[in-house]
Chains A and B, each alone.
Chain A
Amino acid sequence: MKIKKISFSLLLIASVGNLLGQSLGDQISSGEIHGNFQLNMQYYQEDSLIGAYEVPEDVLMNGFANFIYTNGNFSAGMRYESYMNPILGYPSGFKGNGLGYRYASFTNDNMSVTVGNYYEQFGNGLIYRTFEARGLGYDNAMDGIRIYYKLAEGLNVKGVIGKQRESFDSGVKYGEGIVRGIDGELSVNDFIPSLSEAKTRVILGGSFVSKFQPDQNSQFNLPENVGASAGRFNISRGKISLAGEYARKINDPSADNGYIFKEGEAFYAQTAFSTKGFGLTLSAKGNDNMSFRSDRGAAQTVLQMNYLPALTRQHTYNLLATLYPYATQPNGEVAFQGELVYKLKKNTFLGGKNGAGILLNYSTVYNIDSTALPASDTTQMGYTSNLFSVGDTKYYEEINVEFSKKFSKSVKAIFTYSNIVFNQAVVQGKNPKDHPTIYANVGVIDLTYKINKKHAIRTELQGLFTKQDHQDWATVLVEYTYSPHWFIAVMDQFNYGNKISEEQIHYYYTTAGYVKGANRVSLGYGRQRAGIFCVGGICRTVPAANGITLSITSSF
């Protein structure tokens, strides 16, 4: 009955539309419609060596398509998602077919309104960021209302209210908690006309976010409303810039922090100096008890409201990216990072005839100095700490040097050396007794030989050397490209140094593909480790798999 009603009204509206005829048609056709599509299909082979189980369906598939309609100041969009069934390595909570996202928005004078789903971020995201990383199966989109308002030149306000996407099962299931937030940003130079030409540029911002979730816990008296606030600044003058943000959250007992009533805190500060051929960044970050979700009981990546960036180098070379990647510890860490980029001039000793480049990156992460409260304590604060005091447990450290050089018109190379200290017990939540901290040396030679205008061969030789974990690894990659349409790549990641000889596994992988404009089709076969995968001219995030992979992407 209900369906009949809907189709009847649809028919009615459509026929009225037809009666109105040309004018409505003209109005609608003056708009544009665009979209994109992605499909990843995996045929599985059982593989006891890498712990890949038999898949009863044999074939699993993830796919989605976005459609966006824009017409002047109006825009509407939707995403259809399909998980038939979800590919392995994807988080649970992605099942079935249906609409995963839909919105409509308009802009009128200085105001812009979005209803439905949206993604939004305040400042660095320390207290509020909703976003998607579809390759990873991450989506905490809002469903509700968002308003942007330009109050004056240089003064902008954003307001959000809604619920977050919790999971997808032939349609979106939203979390119970209600999220409300407001953010204001003042560009001083645009706001005060006499400063518009000033060399020093100043931007100030502030935000407040709160969540509401009913307390149904009989044991504790939990706060139903939890607020967090943050303030930030960005000052730049010519070649120098300085930016910082500080955030504070009131008591928020949750599964993440063991239901303690301590407040949370975070800061993020960065300074940069750059001029042509030289760039330097120094940054520091700390977060203490700063996990923030719209459901206090949620775990993993579900219903996260904020983003605490990892202050370490983000790697693309296979061994570095997949074996020991660092992940932020929301309950407490202090991190420091420095990066220097330098271009060596042509006709110098290191620069050679064609010039060269150096990139140096150092990063380190420690725990926060904290003291657990005694068992006799009745405040339920958990521990005492000082966000700006570095503890003595090292979580991560890396020294990374990258030297890139063009030897001739046809030969280019990038040499990378990295020294990593990786506390696997903390970062991966393993038992410290049989999972000691890993000390690894990594070397990569990335060589490109351009045969002629259209043909090129690129090879990567990588080695990772460590006495801990699974000992030594090597990766060899050969990639052949025929611009602008074709590529083929062969790769083997080999755990040759493993002390247990049965575990000296080869992760061999072959992939070939065709690209035309914004269409890309690739077919792969072999074992693949989870992580960022930069082969065939693009970078994408992939889950672990063994078997045949078909990937299709398109935009129109």
Chain B
Amino acid sequence: MKNLTLLFAIILSGTVMFAQNDKRSIPSANVKTLNGGSFNTSELNNDGKPMIINFWATWCSPCKRELNNIAEVYDEWVEETGVKIVAISIDDARNMGKVAPYVNGKGWEYEVYIDPNGDFKRAMNVNNVPHTFLVNGNGEIVWQHNSYSEGDEDELYELTKKLAKGEEISH
């Protein structure tokens, strides 16, 4: 344990000393597809166009408000920017069977995966849901936001449009 901690401390200090790159790539974790198959998150991409990764759950009311509000304007977003929304449900075995019927029942057009034991959530350092990440065409995470209030989707869309035009984004 001590040695492992030590090794980690060295790597950590090395990284702090040398790290210059603040861009972030999408980590690798295994999630489930809606028909029970396995999918590795390192394969997430949108052919050079912006992508939004949103963590939600069937029991999270602000998450559902956000994704239902965006669903109404999603066609327009896609047409305008080519963006793709990837909705990651963190529902576990208790509710994961209800995810596909909910998504279809609400008519969502998002790409949906399930992360039943929080592996991708942990890898992405998500504390609470909803948590939204904006990914540029090179697959780098350039912006993130925790929580949802009515109107937050407007800010997200403005940033997505910037990305689609190839502009840089800063917080």
**B-contacting residues of A (Cβ < 8 Å)?**
6, 9-10, 13-14, 17, 24-26, 28-36, 38, 66-70, 75-76, 78, 99, 102, 104, 107, 115-116, 119-121, 124-125, 129, 131-132, 156, 185, 187, 190, 201, 203, 234, 236, 241, 243, 268, 270, 272-281, 283, 307, 309-311, 314-317, 339-343, 357, 359, 446, 448, 450, 453-456, 458, 481-484, 487, 515-520, 532, 534, 536-540, 553-556
The CA of A554 and the CA of B147, in the complex, are separated in Å by 12
- In the bound complex, residues from chain B placing their C-beta under 8 Å from that of A31 are 15, 19
**Contact A456:B149 (CB < 8 A) given known A32-B25, A70-B27, A534-B60:** yes
Stretch at the interface among B43-51, B81-89, B127-135, B160-168: B127-135
Query: How many B residues face the partner with a CB closer than 8 A?
Result: 77
- Apart from the given pairs A115-B4, A483-B151, A539-B129, 8 other A-B contacts in the complex at a CB distance below 8 Å: A32-B19, A131-B118, A185-B38, A234-B35, A280-B101, A309-B95, A311-B94, A537-B130
Q: Is the beta-carbon distance between B154 and A276 smaller than 8 angstroms?
A: no
Q: Is the beta-carbon distance between B117 and A119 smaller than 8 angstroms?
A: yes
- In the bound complex, residues from chain B placing their C-beta under 8 Å from that of A453 are 151, 154
Q: Is the beta-carbon distance between B6 and A534 smaller than 8 angstroms?
A: no
Q: Is the beta-carbon distance between B105 and A534 smaller than 8 angstroms?
A: no
Q: Is the beta-carbon distance between A341 and B37 smaller than 8 angstroms?
A: no
Which of chain A's residues has its CB closest to B59's CB? A314
Binary A-proximity of B20-39 (CB < 8 A = 1, otherwise 0): 11001101100000011110
Determine the main DSSP class of A at the interface with B. strand
**A-contacting residues of B (Cβ < 8 Å)?**
1-2, 4-21, 24-25, 27-28, 35-38, 57-63, 65, 92-95, 97-98, 100-107, 116-119, 122-131, 143-152, 154-155, 171
**Contact A241:B146 (CB < 8 A) given known A28-B15, A66-B122:** no
Q: Is the beta-carbon distance between A456 and B104 smaller than 8 angstroms?
A: no
Select A33's contact among B12, B63, B101, B145, beta carbons within 8 Å: B12
The CA of A281 and the CA of B91, in the complex, are separated in Å by 15
Q: What would 15 A/B residue contacts be, using CB atoms closer than 8 Å? A: A10-B10, A28-B15, A66-B125, A67-B12, A102-B8, A236-B36, A268-B93, A309-B95, A341-B106, A343-B106, A357-B106, A517-B143, A538-B148, A555-B127, A555-B131
What total count of A-B pairs have CB within 8 Å? Answer: 260
The CA of A38 and the CA of B15, in the complex, are separated in Å by 23
The CA of A234 and the CA of B119, in the complex, are separated in Å by 21
The CA of A516 and the CA of B116, in the complex, are separated in Å by 28
Q: Is the beta-carbon distance between B36 and A234 smaller than 8 angstroms?
A: yes
